[in-house]
Amino acid sequence: MSLTEGKQFHHQTWFVLPIKTYTNALLPFAEMDTLCEYVAETEQPMIQFWQLKNTFILGMKDTRTPDFHKGLQAITQTAFSPVLRNSGGLGVISDDGVLNLCVFFSNKAKNWSIDEAYEWVFQWVKQAFPTLPIKAYEITNSYCPGTYDLSVDGLKIAGLAQRRVKNGISVSLYLSVNGNQHYRGESVRLFYQEALNGEEPEALGYPNVAPEVMTTLSRLKNQELTIDEVQEQLLRPLKNETNIAFTTLEQLPNQEFLQEKILQNLEKMEKRNELLR
């Protein structure tokens, strides 16, 4: 599959926001919502790469566990600090060995179905790592399982999520590059064990996390990959088929709109995260 075939990306330049590590765990989510609206209006496709230090990213569904605050107490026993993202779904881990990215594109010129948007990102990742037999299907015992979990030989390396505003689509992906994936999985398993208060996870619609069904790109490749190397490898298919231009959020046009919207979305994130207190 060509990354430009049949869609609106032919002869378009992709804006790329290179890896940024955030100290405020709320800020990347406020920026992502803002960029989704921005791309919806400008029809400028964009990719944002980002990282968080030792963070347990909770989904809204996690807050509906029978004993959520007991689960939060369990997180304090791990290396991670909790943050509640602005969408549904379930918990994932972000640390120095996990690369997060978000692909933004407009839905104006071509009406993308949910599966089409996921499929485009899946095919892109496959092309970036051609020696790995990456497949997309649900790894039910992973954390945050979904139809477009990316795995090799049944071991999950990445998870996808999608968010939409009017005429705007964002597909986000976490990719486990290196580090202790077993500890990440065990930390999420512990959260559900406590938050579900001993009840069966599947009966309540939560994953029965088995850390052994997840791994990292480095383990699969049998070599220690860096975050920068993986970012570069992900960009190769786009460089081959279209143009990319590195930029920062501060260099984008319409700064007044962007900064105002980021502050508004950050305020929403702060209000949402009051649940953690």
Range of the domain at 214: 13-276
Average pLDDT per block of 10 residues along the chain, 277 residues long: 60 92 97 95 95 97 96 96 90 98 90 94 97 98 97 98 92 97 98 96 96 98 97 96 94 94 97 94
pTM tops 0.75:
yes
**One of 144, 161, 171, 196 is an active-site residue; which one?**
144
Residue 36 lies inside a defined structural domain of this protein: yes
Residue 59 lies inside a defined structural domain of this protein: yes
Residue 3 lies inside a defined structural domain of this protein: no
As given in the structure block, the two tokens for residue 207 are 């994953």
Give bridge partners of residue 224 from the DSSP assignment. none
**Which has the closest alpha carbon to 48: 235, 229, 273?**
235
User: Torsion over CA of 225, 174, 19 and 224, rounded to 10 degrees?
Assistant: -10
Q: What's the Cα-to-Cα distance from 228 to each of 99, 170, 177, 214, 225, rounded to whole Å?
A: 9, 22, 10, 22, 8
CA 230/CA 78 separation, integer angstroms = 27
Number of domains making up the chain = 1
- State the residue for tokens 């559900």: 192
In this prediction, residue 10 carries a pLDDT of 57
In this prediction, residue 4 carries a pLDDT of 64
The question of whether 144 is a catalytic residue gets the answer yes
In this prediction, residue 109 carries a pLDDT of 76
Alpha helical stretches, state H, 197-226: 217-221
In this prediction, residue 87 carries a pLDDT of 76
Q: Are 175 and 158 in contact (CB under 8 A)?
A: yes
Q: Are 190 and 197 in contact (CB under 8 A)?
A: no
List Cβ<8 Å contacts ≥24 apart for 148-154: 148/118, 148/121, 148/122, 150/122, 150/125, 152/215, 152/220, 154/213
Residue 7 lies inside a defined structural domain of this protein: no
DSSP-assigned states of every residue in 122-148: HHHHHHHSTTS--EES--TTSSS--TT
Residue 123 lies inside a defined structural domain of this protein: yes
3-state secondary structure of 162: strand
Residue 8 lies inside a defined structural domain of this protein: no
Q: Could you tell me the CATH number of the domain that includes residue 263? A: 3.30.930.10
Q: Are 229 and 99 in contact (CB under 8 A)?
A: no
